[in-house]
Amino acid sequence: MPETPTTDGPTVLHVGGASPYDVVVGRSLLDRLPELIGGGVQQVALLYAGDLEQQAQRVAESLIDSYDVLALGLPDGESAKSAAVANDCWEALGERNFTRSDVVVTLGGGATTDLGGFVAASWLRGVRVVHIPTTLLAMVDAAVGGKTGINTGAGKNLVGAFHEPAGVLCDLEFLDTLPADELVAGLGEVVKCGFIADPEILRLVEAGPDAARDPRSPVLRELVERSIRVKIDVVVADLKETGGLDGHPGREALNYGHTMAHAIERATGYAIRHGEAVAIGSIFVAELARAAGVIDDELADRHRTAFASVGLPVAWSGEAGFDDLLATMAVDKKSRGSQLRFVVLDELAKPRILAGPDEAHLRAAYAAITRSA
């Protein structure tokens, strides 16, 4: 994969495939936005999280000399990911006669990226979108790979589309002012990448948990770049989650821990942060794999120590019972008919699908994540 080495300057990670694009990682990157937007563009719709009005103004001011800018503030968090909010955006684009040659730019966390990407995917059956993720979670997860979506009453991200961006600008300066608990939550997806693909991520986190939580540290920058590379490698090989080769689950591997995580998020009304839910969900599938005799105690226990080392939760207080969570997991996107499917590990960095697990093993895993809460 062509890329520039990590220096004080930006790192460019190239995403190949049918719709290639670049992910630029570094600091003070706003001047690189026009090259990602590309030529022949008259209008830019800037969709931004409502609590980022000052940052959105900076982005708009950097574009206003070259483009007609339509700035649209969105609700904060998961409340942005609704059909009603998407419809408001479509109506605004229609009023401005937003054409296929124009571009959507998103500025915000994962919810903004998901919603903005879906608006771009669905307007005129697809216009270009450039993501500027402002949280660690969005940088390593939502902004790369082309998954977009909104939530429904039945669950999270059940309506969406695959729509790859024209570029991603990961300006690490946004992390300098990110609340500490939000940055820690983003490490949930980072640590997950260590378990499914890149054990060096685990070594870095376990050797320097304080540096992993420091937005200005070279360790965190390396963790960001490594996590993005993991996602790029998986997505290029299996963009639309049709499956990998030689038993590898392909893009589904990125959903490690997510089946339980999404159920917990819904049970709490999305009060829990996504990365926190992923940490608990990852421990759940590790315990499920242990109960099923798939992994040994050492690897199962390492899940708790790795996530805990950076301050992520390793247990859940159980606001919803097992049966309620099981019903929610049954409508997860990874289910096939009535059969539950979970990404588990055969060994470190070797994920596979465990389909139709024994209910006794599921209950044992649930007991393990609630026992110490």
DSSP for 324-353, please give it.
HHHHHHTTSTT-BTTB-EEEEEEETTEEEE
Please indicate if the annotation marks 78 as binding a ligand.
yes
Place of tokens 């490698």: 233
Q: Which amino acid, residue 96? A: R
Please indicate if the annotation marks 111 as binding a ligand.
yes
Active site residues: 125, 147, 189, 231, 241, 251, 255, 258, 262, 274
Please indicate if the annotation marks 114 as binding a ligand.
yes
Q: Which amino acid, residue 59? A: V
Please indicate if the annotation marks 192 as binding a ligand.
no
Place of tokens 């050492």: 298
Please indicate if the annotation marks 79 as binding a ligand.
yes
Tokens read off for 17:
């495939």
Please indicate if the annotation marks 3 as binding a ligand.
no
H helix intervals, the chain:
33-37, 53-63, 83-95, 110-122, 136-137, 180-196, 199-207, 209-212, 218-237, 258-267, 274-291, 297-309, 322-329, 359-370
Cβ atoms < 10 Å from Cβ of 25: 22
Q: Determine phi and psi for 130, rounding to 5 degrees.
A: -120, 130
Please indicate if the annotation marks 284 as binding a ligand.
no
Please indicate if the annotation marks 175 as binding a ligand.
yes
Please indicate if the annotation marks 210 as binding a ligand.
no
Please indicate if the annotation marks 113 as binding a ligand.
yes
Q: Which of 305, 301, 308, 322 is nearest to 367 (CA)?
A: 322
Please indicate if the annotation marks 240 as binding a ligand.
no
Please indicate if the annotation marks 131 as binding a ligand.
no
Please indicate if the annotation marks 77 as binding a ligand.
yes
DSSP for 248-309, please give it.
--GGGGGGTTHHHHHHHHHHTTT-S-HHHHHHHHHHHHHHHHHHTTSS-HHHHHHHHHHHHH
Please indicate if the annotation marks 76 as binding a ligand.
yes
Please indicate if the annotation marks 334 as binding a ligand.
no
Annotated binding-site residues read 76-81, 110-114, 134-135, 147, 156, 174-177, 189, 258, 274
Binding residues for Zn(2+): 189, 258, 274
Binding site for NAD(+): residue ranges?
76-81, 110-114, 134-135, 147, 156, 174-177
